[in-house]
Amino acid sequence: AHENTGLQSQLPLEERNYGATAAHVTESPFVSVSRNSSSKRSYVVAAVLCYGNLILFMDWFIVPGILLDIQKYFELGDGDTGLLQTVFVLCYMLAAPIFGYLGDRYNRKIILGAGIFFWSGVTLGSSFIGELYYWIFFLSRGLVGIGTASYSTIAPTIIADLFEEEKRTTMLSIFYIFIPVGSGLGYVLAAGMAEVTDDWHWAFRVTPCMGGLALVLLILLVPHRIQRRTAAHRALSISGTIRVAAEKPGVQRTAKTTWCQDVISLAKNGSFVWSSLGLTAMAFVTGALGMWIPLFLYRAQVIQGIVSPCLQETCSSSNSLIFGGITIGTGILGVIAGAEAARRLRKINNKADPLICATSMFISALCLYTALMVAQTNIISTFIFIAFGELFLSVNWAVVTDILLYVVTPRRQSTAIALQILVSHLLGDAGSPYLIGIISNAIQAKNAQSFQWSFWSMQYSFTLCAFVGILGGGFFLLTSFYIEEDRKEAEQ
């Protein structure tokens, strides 16, 4: 079941003209026809992967979309509620290196298909759990995280293999647009289904059906083997011939390194290390915001007298719907703006990518801090500043991944993405929802129980996110010192 990681001398014509090689081989009159069909297939595969990414993040953010209902149903405090998302992310990040290892060595289509089937089934099963079995619900979210890791680790590497430099950035941008779009739709789906059916459990029964469709599309439309871009493909791009690259001594041996050697090499890569820490700060902030913002807005509205405290069975989901809409809109705008800024600024500055990421992190931190400060007096301003904070966070999604893909040699990319997932979630959003929750609990415990203090406790704990955002901007600035040298080394 191993995938081909070297360039074979007797490749079928279709595979020879796949992905990175397609634009350069022109010896035969038949090649252009094959190249066109291969190019169309690349876009079809990318579309299937984007659809999968959409469902994955919808499923991820169903819980925050109906957090108040789940908190009441299982009778959870803020700390335990935050732990619900932490369990999901911990399992996700611990599984990622395993799938990174498998993705670099075995058939990626089979791994993706198994992952989609697994998390769709577990999500469906979690919708039938009773209120006395909250620990099974926690466990089910952890299992969903494991299935999700297979997709997030492997799908971006397939897109990187299908497209060359400029197109790769564009296609990765489209792929990563579905992170905020899926996240926002997760809130909307959860809140909408809870409202329509008057039962929050139905929110967990929609994405498994969509996952089933994704699995069918994957089986029918994605090739069983996708040619990897290796150093040989880069040589091919320059030489323009299959035979020269294929017969070059040592080509077959380039991929044969151990996992430990790959990790040591990545640890010495300054751009990879610092950009991964920058991504960790992003993950910390987005994880905390994604989990707690609808509940924070609800508490702000209660103390302003805009809404009455939720005491009935099904709580108002308007904040989840609005926040979901903001997440979708700012996500699309942010990812497009980030990719376009990177495309233009790279032409005049080789360090443009990390500098864009650093600037956007600093601005985002300022916007989020302002949103927290005005929440008690003006809810409209709070929504506006949260929207700008999310917009500037979203600028970085595709740019950070693109940095990884050009500072890491292709044969280590699945491992690099897996390690980045592990670090960014371990130190980022695995702990941030729980940390915000227990800080909020601790503040409430020291003060009289009131709606005012339930709001203040969350406001004070949230200020941590603004400081982490500033720290992330600093990490991206450090990335800029290493990026030119690491890029040259990866291209050799």
The reported pLDDT for the residue numbered 178 is 87
Nearest CA to 168 out of 424, 472, 403 is that of 403
Residue spans of the domains in the chain: they are 38-228, 258-491
Q: What is the pLDDT of residue 16?
A: 35
CA gap 156, 20 in Å, rounded: 15
Residue 187 half-sphere exposure toward CB, CA atoms < 13 A: 26
Q: Is the pLDDT of residue 106 over 90?
A: no
> Which of 158-167, 214-223, 415-424 tops mean pLDDT?
214-223
Task: Tell me: pLDDT of 169 over 80.
Answer: no
Residue 441 structure tokens: 């609990």
Q: Which of the two residues, 176 and 24, has the higher pLDDT score?
A: 176
pLDDT at 38 over 70: no
Q: What is the pLDDT of residues 452-469, one digit of tens each?
A: 888 889 899 999 999 999
Strand partners, 2: 106
Of 341 and 16, the structure prediction assigns the larger pLDDT to 341
Single out the residue of 310, 480, 303 nearest to residue 382, CA to CA. 303
Instruction: Tell me the pLDDT of the chain averaged across its residues.
Output: 81
Protein fold of 258-491: Growth Hormone; Chain: A; (1.20.1250)
The model's confidence at residue 247, banded by pLDDT at 50, 70 and 90, is very low
- The tens digit of pLDDT for each residue in 347-403 reads 899 899 999 999 999 999 999 999 999 998 898 999 999 999 999 998 988 788 889
Rounded-to-integer distance, Cα 62 and Cα 373, Å: 28
- Over residues 85-104, the pLDDT tens digits come to 888 888 888 888 888 888 87
Question: 38-228 — its CATH code?
Answer: 1.20.1250.20
Q: Give the separation between CA 432 and CA 283, rounded to whole angstroms.
A: 9
pLDDT, residue 246, reads 35
d(CA 101, CA 104) in angstroms, rounded, equals 5
What lies within 8 Å, CB to CB, of 434 at 6+ separation is 79, 82, 83, 85, 86
- Pick the most confident of 9-18, 156-165, 388-397, 399-408: 388-397
d(CA 244, CA 266): 30
pLDDT at 103: 82
Q: How far is the C-alpha of 176 from the C-alpha of 60, rounded, in Å?
A: 15
Confidence at residue 2, expressed as pLDDT on a 0 to 100 scale: 39
* Euclidean distance between CA atoms 395 and 410, whole angstroms: 24
Rg of the chain on CA atoms, in Å: 23
Using the predicted structure, report yes or no on whether residue 315 has a pLDDT greater than 50: yes
Q: Nearest 5°: phi and psi at 430? A: -70, -35
Q: Round to whole Å and give the CA distance between 186 and 82.
A: 18
Residue pair 134/74 in contact (Cβ under 8 Å)? The answer is yes
CB 77 within 8 A of CB 431: no
**Angle, to 10 degrees, between the axis of helix 318-345 and the axis of helix 352-374?**
150
| Side chain identity, residue 225 | R
Say how many CA atoms lie within 13 Å of 32 toward its Cβ: 3
The pLDDT of residue 333 is above 80? yes
179 vs 361, higher pLDDT: 361
What 352-355 contacts at long range (C-beta under 8 Å, 24+ apart), as own/partner pairs, is 353/399, 353/402, 353/403, 353/483, 354/271, 354/274, 354/275, 354/278, 354/403, 354/476, 354/477, 354/479, 354/480, 354/483, 355/476, 355/477, 355/480
Bigger pLDDT: 388 vs 147: 388
Sign for the pseudo-dihedral over CA of 281, 282, 288, 291: negative
Report how far apart, in Å, the C-alpha atoms of 8 and of each of 107, 244, 361 are: 17, 11, 44
Q: Taking the mean position of all CA atoms in its chain, how far away is CA 478?
A: 22
Instruction: Please give the Cα distance from 313 to 23 (Å, whole number).
Output: 60
Which pair of structure tokens corresponds to residue 389? 């904070």
Structure tokens at 19: 């992905």
Alpha helix stretches (DSSP H) within 198-248: 207-221, 231-239, 242-246
